[in-house]
Structure 1
Amino acid sequence: MSEELVWETRQFGHRARLALDPAQIRLIDAQAHAARATWNLLHDFWTMTPKCRRSLKAADTAIRQARKETDWLGVLPAQAAQAVLKTYFQAWKNCFEGRADEPNFKARFRTVMSVDIPQGRDLNITRVHRRWGMVQIPKVGRVRFRWTKDLPIGKRATSGNRITGARLVKDALGWHIALRVQSIEPAPKPHQGDEVGIDAGVNLPLALSDGNHQDHGRPPRLLDGTADRDKWLNADEKAELLRLERRAAHRKGFLKRGEKTSRRLHHTYDQIKQLRARAKRRAVDWQHQTTTAIARQYGTVVVEQLQITNMTKSARGTIEEPGKNVAQKSGLNRSISQEAWGRTVTMLAYKTTRHGGSLHKVPAPGTSQCCSMCGFTTPGSRKSQALFVCKNTGCGWSGNADHNAARNILHLYRMGHALIPAAGRAVVRRPRGVKPATAR
């Protein structure tokens, strides 16, 4: 008897690099600056207006009036301006519900330049050949972009499989288009793979409980013990980055207090950002490939509930009570931030769901100090970041510290100590007759 397929609607994003000429770059830059200015004007209008007069209709009227009176705001398409209004109201909604802080003023050099294209039908995407496609950008024209994924266009576009919109985003490597794609796909069958516990570390990026560790082969520290913040760059790129940083420091030394930054210094900063962005892309690419392989192989993935913000706090202390080992803690914080544990967990969450698996979180305290063989926590067992030797009499198990933590993580899940995401607390789902023993 054949099983009936269950279809579900999925939404995902696809990012591609745009190939723009100088004239098109100037047009999109102008639209991005106009979108940022529209946000700031809307924020000023909202904060200065009495609460009794604040409404969506009043804000929309103010935006329309500003576009009529200010010529350079007209370079932004009307639908993109409405998208700014919608995003601003959503930001306040997130603030009222406790998910984010209040919306703020967007500064010129600290804000990501972006433009929304809310209507997917305005894009008119066509494929030129195997490597390139064409997209219609409002008030810019036809633009080429790198074709790296099949998209629902032309005859394949239906009410369920279509492109619903896009956003133009600028980073250090240029302008990109992020497409919002909606598709109808069959629901995945339950994954029949094994259970695995994963511990995110510094020396070993992802340690798995079954020993199938995932390492990117880039040491987190140099020979002198300091953190390697440029580990995703090769030797030539590191030398180029060092040269650019020295040049920037030299040119910055000639600036007087209150003097504007020169164009040459801005150009040097842009070159540094390009190298940093290249390193980040390599790190994200490794994370995507690794998390995809894990989601395909394992049916249940268990990770720790980490408070990364608290883990990366500075140990500097105060004048009255100065901290200890400040330099070492600073290097450890930098290494933790480079590994981007939160981004790895986010990727695992949606990729396990896509392949029919599940992701669970367990409490983090004690997983790295407890022995995974005997179940006892003995002081002095954690020798270093990479070595664990159980000091319990009669055990003496030794091995990689991250591997030991991964085994403890999986054991906590099997004993029923899983976390409810909404409440953020541990819930014991222990089977009848099973005692909460710590011994394996």
Structure 2
Amino acid sequence: MSERGLETRQFGHRARLALSPALALKADDQALAARTMWNLLHAWWQMMPKEKRTLANADAAIRQARRDVDFLAVLPAQAAQAVLKTYFQAWKSCWAGRADAPNFKARFRSTLTVDVPQGRDLNIVRVHRRWGMASLPKIGRVRFRWTKELPVGKQASEENRITGARLVKDTLGWHIAFRVQTLERVPEAHQGPQVGIDVGITVPLALSDGETYEHGQWLTSREQARLLGLEQRAAQRMKRRKPGERTSRRLHHTYDQIAGLRAKAKRRALDWQHKTTTDIARTYSVAVVEALQITSTVTMLTYKLARQGGTLAKVPAPGTSRRCSACGLTTPGSRQTQALFVCRNSDCGWSANADHNAARNILHLYRMGHALIPAAGRAVARRAPRVKPATAR
């Protein structure tokens, strides 16, 4: 909500934890207990009659389980309540048609997480230019990487504060994801130009004004060679394994090394996406993209443009890559390769990078009023008629 030019904004910030082996083991135990609690809740849900599937009955069941099973007692009480709330919220999302029904969390296909619902329990302080300290229930004081200013200490208030956090374990170790609430001024309308963006094949991001955003390989040549060697080693060990034989520790270790390199590449790609979308949001007032299920770049652009006073628009995708942005005609054979567009219309002959041509068409559709109109929670497109030649690049 906004008042007097101010608005409440909520966002997340993820930081790497530096845990000793003993503290990492405590975090592992809590995460395993949280996953077990979820699975017990799901089993309880399936066994109970519909009239007894209430929040109060489920709360009583998990309290009794924490008293009866010592393993579950390592999970803080508030974290156990968070599991319960998350489970019931999953069913509400299912009933509303926003998600599938919740299911058991498998050992190898689920992420280990522990929720810290109350931000005041964290007691965060900054102890160094690069490090901060936080208190985790039943774990203790831990260090985390300080890469973003957080509302702590004298900077914290009722409007600007950390409302909670979640511990998340991935291939690269444990991280803490803070939930932050701030009160900020409503941004003024962005005065920058409009731009069409095409998520290309030869160019990662091509803009209608001729700008491109490219990146290299996510792994260095040395890391790629190491990844290939690890994958070959894993394949050889799999061939030597007898049917029904348990996976050896060496093979598990090799899989962990492969996952580590892939996770490193994924994080570098995410870092590039964040930097690229931030630059676009600061430069342009309106970014127009195709209405396709594409990368998380669009999601990042949506909230980053809003924070800068800009907007994100979507237009119908059919024909944008085959239509000439100079004459407005779709002539067979114009898209000669993935990288080159040469208009076959005898009166035109315009040529350019194919992705830039598509970006120009995307922006032109928006300017002609063919943006998608949200209705009843879903996007509905107007019928895209034949368009006139684009007049602006």
Q: C-alpha offsets along residues 293-316 of structure 1, whole Å, 9 cap, x if unaligned?
A: 000000011000014xxxxxxxxx
Give 2:360's aligned residue. 407
Q: Which segment is superposed worse, 79-88 or 149-158?
A: 149-158
* C-alpha contact 1:173 1:277 (8 A) present in aligned 2: yes
1:367 aligns with 2:317: no
Structure 1 residue 423 displacement after superposition? 3.1
The corresponding residue for 2:280 is 294
Query: For residue 63 of structure 2, what is the amino acid of its counterpart?
Result: R
Aligned counterpart in structure 1 of residue 226 of structure 2, from 240, 247, 263: 240
* SS of residue paired to 2:295: helix
Deviations 1:381-424 (A, max 9, x none): 11111111111121111111000000000000001001123332
Q: Distance in 2 between matches of 1:11 and 1:424?
A: 25
Task: Single out whichever of 90-99 and 353-362 deviates more from structure 2.
Answer: 90-99
Is the CA contact (8 Å cut-off) linking 2:365 and 2:387 kept in structure 1?
A: no
Where does residue 227 of structure 1 map in the other structure?
Answer: none
Q: Structure 2 counterpart of 1:241, which letter?
A: L
Deviates more, 1:99-108 or 1:242-251: 242-251
Deviation at 1:196, TM superposition (A): 0.3
Q: CA deviation at 1:256?
A: 2.4
Query: Where does residue 254 of structure 1 map in the other structure?
Result: 240
| Inter-CA distance 437–175: structure 2 relative to 1 (3 Å threshold) | closer
Q: What is the match of residue 424 of structure 1?
A: 379
Distance 2:83 2:18 in 1: 25
- The residue number in structure 1 matching 2:340 is 387
CA-to-partner distance for each residue in 1:105-146, whole Å, 9 max, x for gaps? Answer: 101111111100000011000111111111001001000111
Which residue type is aligned with residue 56 of structure 1? L
How many Å separate the matches in 2 of 1:257 and 1:95? 39
Match of 1:439 in 2: 389
Distance in 2 (alpha carbons) for counterparts of 1:254 and 1:64: 47
Between the aligned partners of 2:157 and 2:240, the Cα distance in structure 1 is 60
Q: 2 CA distance for matches of 1:258 and 1:181?
A: 48
> Taking every aligned residue pair, what percent have the same amino acid on both sides?
68
- SS, match of residue 170 in structure 1: strand
Gaps of at least 5 residues in structure 2 are none
Across the two proteins, how many residue pairs are aligned to each other? 386
Name the TM-score, length of structure 1 as normaliser: 0.86
Distance between the aligned counterparts of 2:244 and 2:11, measured in 1? 45
Contact 1:389-1:399 at 8 Å conserved across structures: yes
* Secondary structure class of the residue paired with 2:180: strand
**What's the offset of the Cα at 1:193?**
0.6
In the alignment, what sits opposite 1:354? Answer: 307
| Cα offset, 1:427, TM superposition | 4.0
CA distance in 2, matches of 1:182, 1:260: 48
Provide the C-alpha distance between the structure 1 equivalents of 2:261 and 2:45, rounded to a whole number of angstroms.
Answer: 39
Paired residue type of 1:393: S
Q: Secondary structure at the match of 1:101?
A: coil
Unaligned runs of 5+ in 1: 219-230, 308-340
Aligned match of 1:143: 142
Q: Report the equivalent of 1:324.
A: none
Deviating beyond 6 angstroms after TM superposition, the runs of 4 or more aligned structure 1 residues are none
- For residues 27 and 387 of structure 2, the distance between their equivalents in structure 1, rounded to whole angstroms, comes to 62
Among candidates 252, 255, 266, match of residue 269 of structure 1: 255
Indicate how the Cα distance of structure 1 residues 436 and 5 shifts in structure 2: closer, same or farther if over 3 A, else same: farther
Displacement, 1:342?
A: 2.3
Q: Is the 8 A contact 1:200 1:207 kept in 2?
A: yes
**Letter of the 2:146 counterpart:** W
Amino acid at match of 2:177: A
Matched residues in 2 for 1:259 and 1:57: separation? 45
1:108–1:399 distance in 2 versus 1, CA, 3 Å:
same
